[in-house]
Amino acid sequence: MIDSMEIKSNQSKNTGAHADGLALLKALADGTRMAMVRALIQRPMCVEELATATGLSAGTISFHLRKLEQVRLVTKSRSQYYVLYELAAGLLDQSLRSLVQAGPDDGQQRRLRRRREQVRRTFFSRGRLVQLPRQWKKRLVVLEEIAADFEAGRDYDETEVNTRISRRFEDYCTIRRLLIDEGKMTRSGRTYRLVGPSTPKQEGVMEERSELKRQYKETPHQAGVFAVRNTAEGKVLLGSSLNLHGPLNKHRFVLEIGSHRNAALQADWNRLGPSAFVFEVLEVVDPQDDPEASAEDLLSILEKKWTEKLEPFSERGYNTGKKIRE
């Protein structure tokens, strides 16, 4: 007789394997993430390199990298000033059979329904909205509840829309605007129409937009001066930026693919090879040096200092213009 604990253990393993497989398939069912995976198959890359390789913004790349990290498809490690991402060994070698052999993940749907019901109980009392939640996902649940008061495929004039919303919440102007902004309703003049339930793809797009906005606001930008050094011949390309997040990796990447706009630097790279070059941050702006000065002014001081020190516009350097800021 098979031990009941063994059966339970095997069932648990199958459920876990399916949950991982389902999450992996969902993560790969996106054109952007597939393009990133194809790029990472070639070699590990940082955010800026992936952005250049795929033609997307660094913010978009960061958002999708978190999705790939959640399913453990990519891992990351620090290399000097930057974080490199690479594909997890062996995960892509799984067979399709191993990913789909278990049944549907009803547990996830049940958890989603419970969370939605919790939002309704928290923010509604006797059918009326007590308070508009600040969190975007909870706010969507509230808007879907109010949108259910309208019929799909029917036109409503603005007066009727205001009347129906005011039965739920006194600030009908805010709710009406949010229904439009979140794609729950369309408006043409004073005529409104319900769009209908959003698809998982539409919800994913809105979630991505919200996440990218939050990320942009919270990501700190560090200004400073950097250099690409030819250690074999003592030449240097001097640069500066108000956001050092990616310039060095950008220079390295375009040199590697042979398309750097500085022809002399590209020629020396091709002739001497990557081992002859060093990419480094020389100095960053410290606001404490002058709390009343702007980052632009402090960066200008550093630019003057390092320009005088390294003379990148002479035979010792690759710079061709008088401006080094990117």
Summarised one tens digit per residue, pLDDT across range 186-203 is 999 889 999 865 444 445
Domains of the chain, each with CATH number or no CATH: 4-100 (1.10.10.10), 106-200 (no CATH), 224-310 (3.40.1440.10)
Mean pLDDT of the chain: 80
Q: Is the pLDDT assigned to residue 211 strictly greater than 60?
A: no
Residue reference for tokens 């259910």: 148
**Amino acid 228: pLDDT:** 95
Residue 144 CA to residue 120 CA, distance in Å, equals 10
302: CB partners within 8 A, 6+ apart = 224, 225, 240, 283, 285
pLDDT band at 60 (very low <50, low <70, confident <90, very high): confident
- pLDDT value, residue 92: 67
pLDDT exceeds 60 at position 310: yes
Q: With H, G, I as helix, E, B as strand and everything else as coil, classify residue 231.
A: coil
Q: Is the pLDDT of residue 183 over 90?
A: no
Instruction: Say whether pLDDT at 142 is over 80.
Output: yes
In this predicted model, what pLDDT tens digit does every residue of 116-132 receive, in sequence order? Answer: 889 889 999 988 999 99
- Distance CA(164)–CA(191), nearest Å, equals 14
Lowest model confidence (mean pLDDT) among 66-70, 180-184, 288-292: 288-292
87-91, 95-99, 160-164, 304-308: the lowest-pLDDT one: 95-99
Which of 212-221, 277-286, 300-309 is predicted least confidently?
212-221
Share of the chain above pLDDT 70, in %: 78
Strand 128-129 vs strand 124-125: parallel, antiparallel, or unpaired?
antiparallel
192 touches 177 (CB < 8 A): no
pLDDT tens, residue by residue, 251-284: 888 898 888 899 999 999 999 999 999 999 999 9
Indicate if the pLDDT at residue 152 is higher than 90. no
Average pLDDT over residues 153-182: 91
Task: Give the gyration radius of the chain's Cα atoms.
Answer: 27
Residue count of the chain? 326
| pLDDT at residue number 215 | 52
Query: pLDDT value at position 11?
Result: 37
User: For position 248, what pLDDT does the model report?
Assistant: 81
List the one residue out of 221, 232, 314 whose CA is nearest residue 273. Answer: 232
For residue 3, the model assigns a pLDDT of 41
In this predicted model, which residue has the larger pLDDT, 143 or 248? 143
CA distances from 133 to 26, 63, 72, 120, 129 (A): 29, 24, 32, 11, 10
